Amino acid sequence: MRKLALLAAAPALLVAAAPAMAQTQQQRALTTESQTGSPPVTDPAAPAAGVSATGNRADALTAAGFARLAAMSDLYEMEASRLAEQRSQNAEVKRFAQHMLRDHQKTTNELKGMLPQLQGVSASQMPTSLDQQHQALMQQLQGAQGAEFDRVFTRQQVQSHQTAVDLFRAYAQSGDEARLKQWASQTLPSLEEHLREAQRMQRGTQG
């Protein structure tokens, strides 16, 4: 009888234990993150959680969320491009980096100029330094030399511009602030061209 009672109670015990097990796993992940400074299974070359604008993160479709992500994208593009200007020996990579510096400084200035007119967005909400994911990308670049640097830079540029294109397209279609939606729509063709340039450049640096 005792054995039957224990068997009958087993499913209920497993259900009751599930939240605790999940919590334990989460605690282990958080502990790993606190010890290493980064999440335990993060590919620094992959888009960060919250950066992809394919609809997975509703925050990307709010004015404040979109503006923060766009500003962070510009910050990373300018830092990465400055490094490429200094370090790359590839003329095409250097030209692309100069192009990115000009264009992303332009979009940075445009976004800053719009902030006072935007509903629900303030200058204090905008990033002034790279987040953890983009710092990891910069560390990858800083650790690469010669042809390997060009390969890492171009791979990152393809990924980052694909993410930016997705972000701007999503906000242009479904964003919540009219002025910002219009700016996203106007900026999108330039980002799409950046992506095509990065893809062509990547093909040229794969050898």
Kindly report the CATH number assigned to the domain that includes residue 142.
1.20.1260.10
Give the pLDDT of residue 166.
97
3 occurs within a structural domain: no
Q: Residues 21-34: pLDDT tens digits?
A: 333 333 433 333 33
Q: How many domains does the chain have?
A: 1
33 occurs within a structural domain: no
Q: What is the mean pLDDT of residues 94-108?
A: 97
* Full domain range(s) for residue 131: 59-205
Q: Residues 126-183: pLDDT tens digits?
A: 999 999 999 999 999 999 999 999 999 999 999 999 999 999 999 999 999 999 999 9
Separation CA 22–CA 20 (nearest Å): 5
Q: Please provide residue 144's backbone torsions phi and psi, each rounded to the nearest 5 degrees.
A: -105, 150
- pLDDT at residue 52 greater than cutoff 70: no
141 occurs within a structural domain: yes
53 occurs within a structural domain: no
10 occurs within a structural domain: no
Q: Is the pTM of this model over 0.85?
A: no
95 occurs within a structural domain: yes
Separation CA 154–CA 205 (nearest Å): 8
Give the pLDDT of residue 204.
82
The residues, ordered by sequence, that sit 6+ positions from 131 with a Cβ below 8 Å of its Cβ are: 48, 72
16 compared with 106, residue with greater pLDDT: 106
Least confident of 20-24, 71-75, 120-124, 160-164: 20-24
39 occurs within a structural domain: no
Are the CB atoms for 188 and 165 separated by under 8 Å?
yes
Report the 3 state secondary structure along 14-62.
HHHHHHHHHHHHHHHHHHHHHHHCCCCCCCCCCCCCCCCCCCCCHHHHC
83 occurs within a structural domain: yes
